Amino acid sequence: MLANKKQIKRAIISVYYKDGLEKLVRLIHSQGVMLYSTGGTFQFIKDLGLPCIKVESLTGYPEILGGRVKTLHPAIFGGLLARTDLDSDVKTMEEHQLPFFDLMICNLYPFEEYLEKKAEEGELIEKIDIGGVTLIRAAAKNFNDVVCISQPSEYKKLYQILEKSNGTTSKEERKSFAATAFETIANYDRLIANYFLNIESTPLRYGENPHQRGWFHGDFDGLFEKLNGKEVSYNNILDIDAACRLIKDFSEPTFAIMKHNNSCGLASRKTVIQAYEAALACDPQSAFGGVLIANRELDIATAEAMNSLFFEIVIAPDYSKAALELLQSKKNRIILKKKQNLSQTTKMRTALNGHLIQEEDKSIETRNDWKLATDKGLNDDTKSDLEFGIIAVKHLKSNGIALVKNQQLIGMGCGQVSRIDALEHAIKKAIEFGFDLNGSIMASDAFFPFADCVEIAHKAGIIAVAQPGGSVKDQDSIDYCNANKIAMVLTGVRHFNH
């Protein structure tokens, strides 16, 4: 037998979920494994007609405190933590006549289930597992000697291993089970910590697609007061997040319409109804089923204009009484009153077998930050459009291009693998919805490696360009702009958004 192969001789089993356990227990019994167990699991095994030893026979103590204390005893944890290759550990176990455990099967009290069904706090607290977490942690730590099964989904995997190897496991297999065990208790403790920090783990109808489960870990109610509508979905939350990140960068009355985390409509005007009408005009087709957001109170005039459009969500800092009553006429329409702006300093996402964490992109480049790279200068209106366009493109998925005229997004291209494709898409959309591109500006989230984009923009009627610069061929684009009387500013800041 290979040195890292170990035969299972004794197992301690203490589980909440017993579905699928019978087949595994019968197998290890048939392989000569001595079974130890607690409470309901002990009775489950006895009802199968199999021999089993109560842990009380080892500890000398019964379960106490209504089951809160069952396994927390040196006789149990000595058997899980003792190292068989360390003479002092072996000697200690022999002196105290304690058994070594080779297999530990445990799953935890269903804290998450009781959290999801909004159980009373007293009932929920009793579903915080103590002994189970400790058993799992001890067995996983000692994976050199012990197999640690922490999830019901692993019953079948262990069965297949033991059936094939006649009751033995390899070190690699034990370490793999240990990894799952530590992940299990980390997730379990995170749920509990979030509860005590008032950070809810809210189950969603489903994830990004109906076949995926989804949850939201956060304090949604701390950011919004929900005034109407169905429960928000996973995709709703992504759009709400994108909408709030975009709108907080504007100070003038502004309205945005979001689809798939991108703005398909965006405009700033003197009044919110003017901003809404201009935002809708950008792409009324894509606005269907979108998420709408404003940075001013919605009045009845705006609500009347909006009400003929099918949209899923509207977000605003407040609503007039008449506007709210009208918007509430559609029972499934989600109406959110935004209490505060997002204040995160970092963004995190999963990647590979870990996480990527970065600072928030809080940079907004204004006319005081740019470097004019061309001979042609800028008037105040063009500067304002460039400032607007830089914010707009910052919040589009890369590669992103924003076309702006008179503080209105008139064309956008986003999520393209080619910057030329993003620009051509933006021009196509602008023309499709009747905009005159003459006198408009273009903002790009990243530099132009060649002069082709400014050439396409010039032929479409664009008069000014904002880009971060940084290409070894920046001068090619600058030279084209100078030759064709186009203004270009270099912001010095790239805004990739993936």
Lowest mean pLDDT among 51-55, 79-83, 214-218, 226-230: 79-83
Looking at the DSSP assignment, which residues form a beta bridge with residue 37?
Answer: 13, 54
Q: Report the pLDDT value the prediction gives residue 1, as an integer from 0 to 100.
A: 42
From residue 244, alpha-carbon distances to 254, 341, 343, 389, 395 in Å are: 12, 7, 11, 17, 11
Closest among 3, 122, 146 to 66, alpha carbons compared: 122
Name the band, by pLDDT with cuts 50, 70 and 90, for residue 403.
Answer: very high
Cα 439 to Cα 461: distance, rounded to the nearest angstrom: 6
Average pLDDT, the chain: 91
Percent of the chain with pLDDT over 70: 96
Whether the CB-CB separation of 329 and 228 falls below 8 Å is answered with no
Give the active site residue among 18, 141, 226, 376.
141
The pLDDT of residue 431 is 97
> Which one is catalytic: 157, 171, 259, 260?
260
Percent pLDDT > 90 in the chain is 66
Residues 6 or more apart whose Cβ sits within 8 Å of residue 249:
364, 391, 394, 395
pLDDT of residue 364: 94
Length of the chain: 498
The b/e string for 359-370 (b: 16+ C-beta within 10 A; e otherwise) is eeeeeebeeeeb
Reported as a pLDDT band with limits 50, 70 and 90, residue 61 is: low
Contact between 15 and 129 under an 8 Å Cβ cutoff? The reply is: no
Q: Higher-confidence residue: 428 or 198?
A: 428
Query: Mean pLDDT over residues 362-371, rounded?
Result: 94
Burial call 396-433: b when 16+ CB within 10 Å, e when fewer: bbbbbbbbbbebbbbbbbbbbeebbebbbbbbebbeee
- In this predicted structure, the answer to whether residue 371 has a pLDDT above a threshold of 50 is yes
Q: State pLDDT tens for residues 209-224.
A: 999 989 888 888 889 9
Closest CA to 258 of 341, 315, 340, 188: 315
List 294's β-bridge partners, or say none.
255
Instruction: Return d(Cα 417, Cα 440) in angstroms, integer.
Output: 24
**CA gyration radius for the chain?**
31
Q: How confident is the model over 382-392, as pLDDT tens digits?
A: 999 999 999 99
What pLDDT is stored for residue 268 in this prediction? 98
- Between 290 and 192, residue with greater pLDDT: 290
Who contacts 457 (Cβ-Cβ below 8 Å, separation ≥6)?
423, 442, 465, 486
Two structure tokens written together for 100 = 């070594």
Reference 101, options 165, 157, 148; nearest CA is 148
C-alpha distances (whole Å) from 435 to each of 45, 282, 406, 424, 429 are 75, 8, 11, 15, 9
Banded pLDDT at 203 (limits 50, 70, 90)? confident
Query: What's the pLDDT tens digit per position in 237-286?
Result: 999 999 999 999 999 999 999 999 999 999 999 999 999 999 999 999 99
Q: What is the pLDDT of residue 343?
A: 79
Taking the CB of residue 233, how many other CB atoms lie within 10 A of it?
Answer: 19
Please write down the long-range contacts of 161-164, taking CB distance under 8 Å and 24 or more positions apart.
Answer: 162/8, 162/24, 162/27, 162/28, 162/31, 163/27
For the segment 126-146, the average pLDDT, to the nearest whole number, is 87
Tokens of 174: 């034990």
Mean pLDDT for the stretch of residues 436-450? 96
Is 96 one of the annotated active-site residues of the chain? no
pLDDT at 233: 94
Residues 60-96 as b/e (b if ≥16 CB within 10 A, e otherwise) read eeebeeeeeebbebebbbbbbbbeeeeeebeeebeee
- Report the 10 Å Cβ neighbour count for 446: 19
pLDDT exceeds 90 at position 193: no
Mean pLDDT of 65-92: 75
Distance CA 204, CA 207 (A): 7
Across 122-146, b (16+ Cβ under 10 Å) vs e yields eebeebbbebbbbbbbbbbebbebb
Find residue 123's DSSP bridge partners: none
Residue 224 or 84, more confident: 224
* Phi, psi for residue 313 in degrees, rounded to 5: -140, 140
Q: What is the pLDDT of residues 455-481, one digit of tens each?
A: 999 999 999 999 999 999 999 999 999
Whether the predicted pLDDT of 67 surpasses 80 = no
- Whether 141 sits among the annotated catalytic residues: the reply is yes
Lowest-pLDDT choice from 62-66, 238-242, 300-304:
62-66
How far apart are alpha carbons 382 and 329 in whole angstroms?
41
**C-alpha atoms less than 13 angstroms from C-alpha of 332 in its C-beta half-sphere:** 5
CA–CA separation, 89 and 94 (whole Å): 9
3-class SS of residue 159 = helix
Q: Name residue, tokens 């928030």.
A: 360
Does the pLDDT of residue 2 top 60, yes or no? Answer: no
